Amino acid sequence: MQLIDGKTLAAKIRSQVKEEVERLNDESEIVPGLAVILVGDDPASHAYVKMKAKACKEVGFYSIVHEMPDTISQEEIVATIEMMNANPRIDGILVQLPLPPHIDTERILEVIDPAKDVDGFHPYNVGRLVTKLPGFVPCTPLGVMKMFEEYGIQLQGKDVCVVGASNIVGKPMAALLLNADATVTVTHIYTRDLAAHTSTADIIIVGVGVPGLIKAEMVKEGAVVIDIGINRLEDGRLVGDVDFDAVAPKCSYITPVPGGVGPMTIAMLLSNTLQAAKARAAR
């Protein structure tokens, strides 16, 4: 069993991004800019945004956070995004999810200029992903693909079970795997017999927010297990969706939680924002 070390890989990617930012600045005097909209007081969202701001500073990005109360109107959020769409210093716009219930999340995401949609959630970029055209890819699934690449894990012809069908992780993950010629099964809350699908898979990718969902008997010997879930238990421990201690001995590769997929998400956000800045420099 080999651990897939997302923390080390993410540090390597951040270092590469920093070098490219310095080169871009030398050649065109452009500094990549990332703007974040943060609505409400959700502690997890505030923690994520803080980590993103720290990572931006580390690689030399210009970054700004628009903090808004959870009573804000949809129109005010739209107006802020339109202002950032028009701002030439901003290359990437990120709306921290989830948004309050009175806000139409799909409408908000559609307002973002697809060329600044570094989260890859705009329908334009989703369509390009599904049709295997270049565009922005959601950061977490993209980070998982980078892990496969770094560790030489082959996808072509492999049976992959994706557990979870969200627009943020499950669906784009499935599209990336199909584009890599894997055979993909997507399971979700209405799947009748989850173990029937996971137990035959060469690779299991899970991200649903249920601690210990994937048990040892649901995983075949030698499988690759990617745990995207992150859950805080009552005793304060962070755990994934996989029963790690029981499952790990059966795996050829497995990601830990924390230190697995999580750091890769922010690394890919930086990479996507750099890509947008390079496109600005080329215009």
Of the chain, the percentage scoring pLDDT greater than 70 comes to 100
Of all helices (H) and strands (E), which one includes residue 202? Answer: none
Task: List, in sequence order, every residue forming a beta bridge with 251; answer none if it has no partner.
Answer: 223
**What is the pLDDT of the chain when averaged over all its residues?**
96
Contact assessment for residue 210 and residue 229, using Cβ atoms and an 8 Å cutoff: yes
Q: What distance in Å separates the CA atoms of residue 182 and residue 229, rounded to the nearest whole number?
A: 22
Q: What distance in Å separates the CA atoms of residue 248 and residue 261, rounded to the nearest whole number?
A: 16
Would the pTM of this model clear 0.85, i.e. be above it? Answer: yes
Does 76 lie in the same domain as 186? no
pLDDT of 236 reads 86
Has residue 264 got a pLDDT over 90?
yes
Does 186 lie in the same domain as 108? no
pLDDT of 187 reads 98
Out of 102, 126, 150, a domain closes at: 126
Tell me the mean pLDDT in the region 93-111. Answer: 96
pLDDT of 283 reads 85
Q: What is the DSSP code (8-state) at residue 115?
A: G
pLDDT of 43 reads 86
> Nearest-CA neighbor of 163 among 150, 147, 144?
144
Task: List, in sequence order, every residue forming a beta bridge with 187; answer none if it has no partner.
Answer: 163
Tell me the mean pLDDT in the region 144-153. Answer: 98
Q: Note whether residue 271 is domain-resident.
A: no
Does 78 lie in the same domain as 171? no
- CATH number, domain containing residue 210: 3.40.50.720
Q: Which residues are catalytic?
A: 52, 96, 119
Does 90 lie in the same domain as 62? yes
Structural domain boundaries, residue 161: 139-262
Contact assessment for residue 139 and residue 272, using Cβ atoms and an 8 Å cutoff: yes
> Nearest-CA neighbor of 265 among 125, 106, 96?
96
Has residue 44 got a pLDDT over 90?
no
Tell me the mean pLDDT in the region 8-27. Answer: 97
Does 167 lie in the same domain as 84? no
